[in-house]
Every structure is written in structure tokens, then in C-alpha cells.
Structure 1
Amino acid sequence: MNKHLRNFISLVLVAVMAVSGYKIVTTLLDYKKASDTYTEIRENYSPEAEEGFMEDDLKNINPDYRLWLFVENTNINYPVVSYGNNDYYLYRDFLGEDSKSGTLFMDYRNNFETDESTVIYGHNMKNKTMFNNLELFKEKDFWNSDSLIHIYRGDYEYIYEPFSIFVAKPEFDYVKVDFDGENDFNEYMNQVRASSTYWNEDATPKYKDKILTLSTCSYEFDDARTVLEAKLIDKIPIQ
């Protein structure tokens, strides 16, 4: 190998390392910015904030705010937004700024008050934020821990009990917001049950029960999705 070739290869390697380093640094900075943003929002406006739940302030900060989501025994504790499509908040934070973490967002077709099924999406982030902790429900011990899901909206807290965790194949249209009658509902439930890694028989929903679907990317195969399904079991006034 002549000197010129060795120098060229060295330059290429240095360039590759520089680009890789830049990408790592920018990713880490983006993660920190997102973490700081949501930590501040939690501390000041969430149901656990010292001054209490500041929903009106959240709406003033972002009119697209719809509800607050908290999943027990996880770090899922975020505001949820909704827009006119399911793309806008994929890479925008709650403040509307560019972010790889994005924001948890409700399906644009959803009306939380009236729909039979509410669907919420979020990224499966490598730093274990956003909806990454849905992966915990794939572990048998965690599934058996009976971690409930809480939604805070208006004057009420809505409590959901998980009944299924599964990895959805691309051909399964699991993001329904309503059902075309009882037969459609039963067919959907049969598909969910057949796909499930774990199923909670005690929380099996009946037709017209309110359902919550939490969805994130998964990596078992191309276009896989980790999906946690839960049934509304209580609605109580926020104190």
C-alpha cells in the first residue's frame, strides 16, 4: 500500500469518526433538551405539581393539548396533544419545537368524550423516554404487577386496567376509534386476543366498554408495533 493510499484511507476514517461523533453529540443534546422540557412541564403543570393540576395553563401553552397520561411503575407521565393529522407531532415537542422525541399524541380522528376507543401514539426512544416503557409490559413479572393507567382531563381522572399487550403485524388494523356494531367489536377482540403476549381475563372488555390503546414502534420485524390495550374501570373527580 503506497503512502498516498494510506493517507487517503486515514482521512476517510477521520471523516467517518467526525460525522459519527457529531451525530452522537447532537442526539444526546436533543435528548437532554426534550428531558428538560418535559421535566419542567411535569414540575409546574402536571397532576403531581406542587400547585396541583394546571390544565388551563397547559392549554394556554399549547392549544393542541388534550389530556395528561400517567402509567403506574413506569416513566410514562406526559401531556398528550392532538392535531389535524398523525404526523405533525412526530418530531415536535410540546412547545412546537423540533425534537426527535416528539410528543405523545392522540389519533386525529379521536373524540375522547364520545369514542369507544382512544388511541395514543408515542416514540420508543433509546433513552427509555416517551413510550419506551411500554416494553416493560412484555415482561411477565411486570405484567403481573397490575400497573394501572391514569388519564387526567377536565375535572376527572380516568383509570384504565390493561387487558392485553401484543406486537401488532402490519396487516392488523388495531387503531380503531369506534366499532361498527357488536360483531365488529368481537372480531377486533378476537384478533387482539390471538395476537396477545399476555391477556388479563379479569379486565376483558365488553361491547360499549371504553378502551385505551397505547402504541409505539417495535423491532421484532419490519413495521412492528408494541400495543398496550386497557379498559376504563373508573372515573373519579379530581380533588
Structure 2
Amino acid sequence: MKQLCKARKIIVAAIAFIVLAISVFAYNKVFRANVSTSSEPAEEKTATVPVVSRQSNLAESKIKNADTVAWLYLPGTEIDEAVVQARDNEYYLQRTFDKKYDIWGCYFADYINDLSGRDKLSPNTIIYGHAYRNEDPNERKFTQLFKYLDAAFIEQNPYIYLAVDGEDLVFQVCAVFFTDISFDYIDPTPGTEFYATIAAKNEFVFEGLGIGPGDKVLTLSTCSHRYDTKNTRNHRFVVIGKLLPQDAEVQPMEIEINPNPQRP
């Protein structure tokens, strides 16, 4: 009888030991799984470049003036207006959007360019506007383009928005420079030398954002007097943006000052 009781105790103890061992094993397995999962680096989500729509503004402007081809918006500036286009580049030079005489004119696209859609854009699309002689970036119209001479401003406002019929296009600023008209920066279908010249003239070096054949760019052009010591009126200040693909992701970029840009 005593032997039977002793055997039962041994069996119970064995069962208890087995249950405890299984419990410890299961706990360790879950614990290790949790540790393994928590130690894996979290997957970083890449932000998408913000898109700003101006389709309603564009539609209203087309009703008011059939020459309207786009709507230009530059964050950080007061530039948020319609872009028109005529059969030549003289008509709107000193005419307002309402076709009335004004020395300040309005924003107009080069007559050669096609702004009917993303796929129709030339490699180089040009928009013109006037600027004050003092180049004060707080003045009106394209005088505000001179804000892009500040690298911090570009970092805070890297995108240029152009609404065309049915599409809101986004360009990223990639070049800022002074030039005279001996450089054909308004060539709608430029060759490879065009991009090399821009790199040499650029006031900044945009690390991680280059342009070359196959890209499409938006060129914003205005007059400049800063280096026009002979008052030739042939000097220009230019800001260029690179067209980004739809649903583009924000890319890391560094802006450094070009220590020796080629100026006119």
C-alpha cells in the first residue's frame, strides 16, 4: 500500500514537472517572438510630394480670357495667377490679363510652347513676367522670384505648381541664375550643352536633383539689372523647376552655395 502511494506521488510530481516545463517553453517561445518582432526596425513611410490644385481658378480664368493656358502658383510668394499665351511674345508684354495697357503686363507663356497637358509639354516651357529694377523680393510680380536667391527659402518652398487643363503639375526648383540673352535659355528643345551651361551658372548646387536630356523643365524668366553695368537691358534672372512624376515621393536634397557661378 505504501509503495502504491509512493508511486502515485512520483507520477503526480512527474506530471507537474512536465506541465511546468511545457509552460516555461511556451512562455519563452512567445517572449522571444515578441522580442524579435519589437527589435525589427519600423518600416519608414516615404512622404508623397504635396499637390496643390488650381483647376477651379484655371476654369474661371478661361471664361474671362480665352488666351488662358495655365495657372501658376509659387508658395511663399504672392504669385498665384493665370498664365496667358498669344501668337507672339509681344502682345502681353505690356497688357494685363484683361488686355488693357499696363507697363507691368501679366504672366505669359512663350508662344512656341504647348501647355495643353503633361505629355504635350516641351522639354523647356517658359513663362515671362516683369520685375522691379531694384530687385526687392517683396515687390510685385516676378520681382518676387529673387526670393529664390535664399537657400533657406528654397528649402521651405521647393515646389512650383502649374495647373493646366485637367492636370496639376508639380516642378521642383533645381536652378537659379543670372544670365544675358547670349545664352539661349528659352530654347524649347535644348541640347545637352544647355544643361551644362545651367550647372555652371547656377547660384546653387542641388545635391540629389539633377536635370538633363529626357527631363522637362519650367523656366520662369524676368529682367535683371544687378550685373548690367552698361544698362544693356539684356540681362535676365531665371528660376527653373524640374517636372516631377505623378505621385512622386519626397527625395532627400541638399542645397549648397556655388562658390563661383558664371554671371554675365
Give the TM-score normalised by the residue count of structure 2. Answer: 0.65
The one-letter code sitting in structure 1 at the alignment partner of 2:212 is: K
Asked whether 1:103 is paired with 2:106, we answer yes
- Unpaired runs of 5+ in structure 1? 1-45
Q: 2:78 — aligned with what?
A: 75
Is contact 2:58–2:82 with CA below 8 Å preserved after alignment?
A: no
Q: 2:148 — aligned with what?
A: 137
Is the partner of 1:66 in helix, strand or coil?
Answer: strand
Asked whether 1:196 is paired with 2:211, we answer no
Q: By how many angstroms is 1:132 displaced?
A: 0.9
Query: Per-residue displacement from partner, 1:6-26 (whole Å, max 9, x unpaired)?
Result: xxxxxxxxxxxxxxxxxxxxx
Asked whether 1:86 is paired with 2:89, we answer yes
Distance 1:54 1:143, change over 3 A: closer
Is the partner of 1:137 in helix, strand or coil?
Answer: helix
The one-letter code sitting in structure 2 at the alignment partner of 1:150 is: Y
Higher alpha-carbon Rg: 2
Matches within 5 A, 1:139-158: 139-158=150-169
Q: 2:66 — aligned with what?
A: 63
Question: How many residue pairs align between the two structures?
Answer: 183
Is contact 1:64–1:81 with CA below 8 Å preserved after alignment?
A: yes
Q: 1:176 — aligned with what?
A: 187
Is contact 1:165–1:196 with CA below 8 Å preserved after alignment?
A: yes
Of 207-216 and 117-126, deviating more is 117-126
Of 167-176 and 121-130, deviating more is 121-130
Alignment partners' CA distance in 1, 2:100 and 2:202:
36
Is contact 2:175–2:240 with CA below 8 Å preserved after alignment?
A: yes
Q: 1:231 — aligned with what?
A: 242
Is the partner of 1:200 in helix, strand or coil?
Answer: strand
The one-letter code sitting in structure 2 at the alignment partner of 1:209 is: D
Is the partner of 1:207 in helix, strand or coil?
Answer: coil
Is contact 1:150–1:158 with CA below 8 Å preserved after alignment?
A: yes
Give the TM-score normalised by the residue count of structure 1. Answer: 0.71
The one-letter code sitting in structure 2 at the alignment partner of 1:56 is: A
Alignment partners' CA distance in 2, 1:110 and 1:102:
19
Q: By how many angstroms is 1:140 displaced?
A: 3.0
Q: By how many angstroms is 1:47 displaced?
A: 5.2
Alignment partners' CA distance in 2, 1:234 and 1:194:
26
Is the partner of 2:170 in helix, strand or coil?
Answer: strand
Q: 2:126 — aligned with what?
A: 119
Q: By how many angstroms is 1:230 displaced?
A: 0.9
Q: Percent identity?
A: 27
